[in-house]
């Protein structure tokens, strides 16, 4: 990770869960991290904790609604002005709404597409352009995906969400091919975890907290820190090593 010290990473959805854990880990390794979310109160608290801990990097909170393209473009413009540009882009933000295919609300479907697909695509494009205009040839774009992007589980409330994650799988492979065609050494990686113990299920089942809690009690879940370690592993790979697709699962065994 030494080569990333002092360089700029963007982490979307950095206020809680996986995003917060990834942001902290990158700051611990000396990176300058722009952490964005719709609300930055928790990111500001995390930034203060990182500073108090004496981590060599810095965390810069940035308020951005990823469902709004103008706000995304404004964020990248601000990063360019203040920090030259993005060297690492971690598309972590994602959400699910309990909207089945046969009875779901269009608004919920659209929200999932806007954040899980469109925001990923826009951030990827802008990050690549930022790297290209500065002749950065060793940048990295990491998409935090899901096992739901590789198999459809028999739960109607996540079927549309699964479709958006299948899109992320396709987008990452398409990105890898386009980067190869562009003859650049910028890398693209998709990390697909199994069940991670965050607040995700409580947002999905916001009207049924007992069901949300039961989701995490059914198996031994991954922790957000496990995902942060996966991101560090991917970034630590030598420049000539391309990790296209990584699955992260819990062993479900008692240690």
Amino acid 255: pLDDT = 32
47 lies in which domain range? 2-248
Amino acid 239: pLDDT = 81
Residue with tokens 């996966």: 230
Amino acid 77: pLDDT = 98
**Does some domain include residue 236?**
yes
Sheet holding 58-63, edge to edge: 58-63, 32-37, 8-12, 88-91, 140-144, 187-193, 245-248
The H-or-E segment that residue 234 falls in is helix 224-236
**Does some domain include residue 141?**
yes
The H-or-E segment that residue 81 falls in is helix 69-83
Residue 60 phi/psi, 5-degree rounding, is -110, 110
Q: Output the pTM of the full model.
A: 0.91
Per-residue pLDDT of the chain (255 residues; tens, 9 = 90+): 999 999 999 999 999 999 999 999 999 999 999 999 999 999 999 999 999 999 999 999 999 999 999 999 999 999 999 999 999 999 999 999 999 999 999 999 999 999 999 999 999 999 999 999 999 999 999 999 999 999 999 999 999 999 999 999 999 999 999 999 999 999 999 999 977 766 566 566 566 667 656 665 666 778 999 999 999 999 999 988 888 876 665 555 433
Amino acid 133: pLDDT = 98
Q: Please say if 233 is a catalytic residue.
A: no
Overall residue count recorded for the chain in this entry: 255
Q: Tell me which DSSP letter residue 57 carries.
A: S
CATH of the domain at 77: 3.40.50.720
**Does some domain include residue 58?**
yes
**Does some domain include residue 254?**
no
Active-site position among 161, 166, 216, 233: 161
Tokens (6 digits) for 12: 């979307």
**Does some domain include residue 189?**
yes
Q: How many domains does the chain have?
A: 1
Beta bridge partners of 58: 32
**Does some domain include residue 253?**
no
Amino acid 69: pLDDT = 98
Amino acid 200: pLDDT = 65
């Amino acid at each position: 990770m030494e080569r990333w010290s002092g360089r700029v990473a963007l982490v979307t959805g950095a206020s809680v869960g996986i995003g917060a854990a990834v942001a902290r880990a990158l700051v611990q390794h000396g990176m300058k991290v722009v952490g964005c979310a719709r609300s930055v109160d928790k990111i500001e608290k995390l930034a203060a904790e990182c500073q108090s801990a004496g981590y060599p990097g810095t965390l810069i909170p940035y308020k951005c609604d990823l469902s709004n393209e103008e706000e995304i473009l404004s964020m990248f413009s601000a990063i360019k002005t203040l920090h030259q540009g993005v060297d690492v882009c971690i598309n972590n933000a994602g959400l699910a709404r309990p909207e089945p295919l046969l009875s779901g609300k269009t608004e919920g479907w659209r929200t999932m597409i806007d954040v899980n697909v469109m925001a990923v695509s826009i951030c990827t494009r802008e990050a690549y352009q930022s790297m290209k205009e500065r002749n950065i040839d060793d940048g990295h774009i990491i998409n935090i995906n899901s096992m739901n992007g590789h198999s459809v589980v028999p739960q109607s409330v996540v079927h549309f969400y699964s479709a958006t994650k299948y899109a992320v799988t396709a987008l990452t492979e398409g990105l890898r091919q386009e980067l190869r065609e562009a003859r650049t050494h910028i890398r693209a990686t998709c990390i697909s975890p199994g069940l991670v113990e965050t607040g995700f299920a409580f947002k999905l089942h916001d009207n049924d907290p007992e069901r949300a809690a039961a989701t995490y009690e059914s198996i031994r879940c991954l922790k957000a820190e496990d995902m942060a370690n996966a991101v560090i592993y991917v970034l630590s790979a030598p420049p000539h090593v391309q990790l296209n697709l990584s699955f992260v699962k819990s062993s479900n065994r008692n240690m």
